[in-house]
Every structure is written in C-alpha cells, then in structure tokens.
Amino acid sequence: MAVAVESALGHTCDSVEVIVIDDGSTDGSPEVIQAYGDRIRSVCRQNRGGNPTRNELLAMATGEWVQFLDADDYLQPEKVANQLNSTGQACGTVDAIYSPHITEVWRDGRVVEQSTSVIDSAMSLEEQWIRWQVAQTGAVLWRRESLLAIGGWNEAYPCCQDNEVTLRAIQHGLKFHFCPDAGAVYRIWSQATVCRKDPFRVIEKKTHLIDQMKNWLQQQNRWTPALAAAAGQAFFEMSRTMAAYDLPLAVDYQQERRKIGDYQVCGPAAPLSYRVMHRVAGFELAERVARWRRGS
C-alpha cells in the first residue's frame, strides 16, 4: 500500500487530493495509513469489496477528475498530467481518458517480467473494448460527475469490474479520449487476484459483457465484420483458456459459440500448427494434441 500512496502523493499535478480506504485489510495497512497524518484523507472499516470501496471513494472525492488505484499498484509521477494535457482544448468535453498500462510480474521480491499493454488506436473504441484494451482500473482517468451520472461502479459485479463500468460508460455516450502514454503500473504478485483465482467466473462474466456489447450495437445497426471478428477471437481464446482446466466444459462452450456464429480461430492463441489440427480434427482433438505437446 505504501508504494501506491507515495506514487499518488508524488504526482506532478497541482492540488492532488489523496483518499485511502482500508477495506478490512489484515496486513498492517492501518498503521501505514496513520503514518501519513493529514497528508491524506483515510477511512478504515470492515471489508466490503472493490466496487463498494471505489464508490465510497467517488462519493468522498471533491476534485473534477478521479484516479482509482488498487493497493498493489502504483502510478508514474506524470501519469495524470500527461493524460489531462493530451486532451488539449477538448478537455472540457471529455469524460474519461484511457491509456496503455504497464504490467509488472513479481517473484521472490523482484520484478521478473515487465510489459506495456497495446491499444490499437486505429480501431474503434468498441473494438478496443471487445479486445479488452480499454479498461484497466488504474489506466483510466474519470471525470467525477460523469462517472456519478452513470451510477458509478456496479457493486454486484465480482470480476471484470473495470470492463463492466467502461461498457456502461460507452453505452451512455460518455466521451472517451485516448492518451498513448502509459503511466499506470499493474503489479502481479500471485494468482490469488480477483481476476485470476477463478478463471471460469472470469470467462462467464467476460462472455456476458461481450454479448451485451454485441446486442447493444446490433440494435443500433452498428455491429460490423471487424467487431464480429474481434468477438469471435475473444470467445475462441476463452475456450482455449477453459480447456486448460476442464476440456469437456470447454468443448461445450466452444460448440455453443460456434452455433451462434461467435467463434474465430485466429490471433496469438492460434499458431499455424494449431489451426491446421483444428481444421482437420476439430477443437477437442486440437486441444488434446496441444496438451500432449506441453507435456501436461
């Protein structure tokens, strides 16, 4: 938590308001928070979960723009300033500013891998969203009143929470602005995070959200071949992820998506050898061969 708080306090923007909520932690966070004194506003309470905590922060904030930051993550000093400056004279009409994020994988107390996410600026916002490029929590800067106007964060959603709130923002017509500078750092310490400890729930919610986006765009006659291809690739990739844990369940999922036309074997998860096997023998055998090659 200390790294997250220090990165917020160290921002180059003027009049930074740092609010910290200890959501029922058991790791000594209250003591860390107290050490900052009146440099921050803070609340310590029983655990309620990520989205209720974000909504509480949203209600407490007094600034025009709100930056959310999970306790494990941190921001580079220029992150917010770069995003605001990138809007130029259009700043007053923008509701959300999004950027790539940096992922750090930690093991044994050190960074073993670092990468920057890719946002293809040539794609429409909707296709970027379907490809899961838009929404990482720390990478988005929200206009406070705009986020309040769409109801804030959905407290019933257990995972894919940042993608759910950005979907509603898009559906409500909020204006998004892309800033190419990555300044939010997402740190992975273990597989016990909300979106990693239960891959089946993540697939269920991600599938539901993409279906929502598809249905909404179809109602407006805005569902294009490019969007269909992006969705089909996403469903294919999820079927492969599911197959690593439960192949019969993955076969059922894959068959369902193929039946409704939402399935395309393409992208990084479909190397040539896999595509050939899939075309000749089908999904289940292709997965069994892939598993055999991995030695699992």
pLDDT digits (tens, 9 = 90+) for 136-174: 999 999 999 999 999 999 999 999 999 999 999 999 999
130 plus 18 within the same structural domain? yes
CA 173 – CA 39 distance, rounded (Å): 36
247 plus 183 within the same structural domain? no
Q: Which tens digit of pLDDT belongs to each residue from 248-278?
A: 999 999 999 999 999 999 999 999 999 999 9
Q: How far is CA 58 from CA 7, 32, 132, in A?
A: 19, 22, 24
For the chain, what is the domain count?
Answer: 2
Domain that holds residue 286: 199-294
Q: Which tens digit of pLDDT belongs to each residue from 201-234?
A: 999 999 999 999 999 999 999 999 999 999 999 9
The residue from 188, 212, 237 where one domain ends is: 188
72 plus 215 within the same structural domain? no
The residue from 159, 188, 217 where one domain ends is: 188
pTM of the model: 0.93
154 plus 278 within the same structural domain? no
Q: Which tens digit of pLDDT belongs to each residue from 68-89?
A: 999 999 999 999 999 999 999 9
220 plus 180 within the same structural domain? no
The residue from 166, 188, 210 where one domain ends is: 188
CA 116 – CA 255 distance, rounded (Å): 34
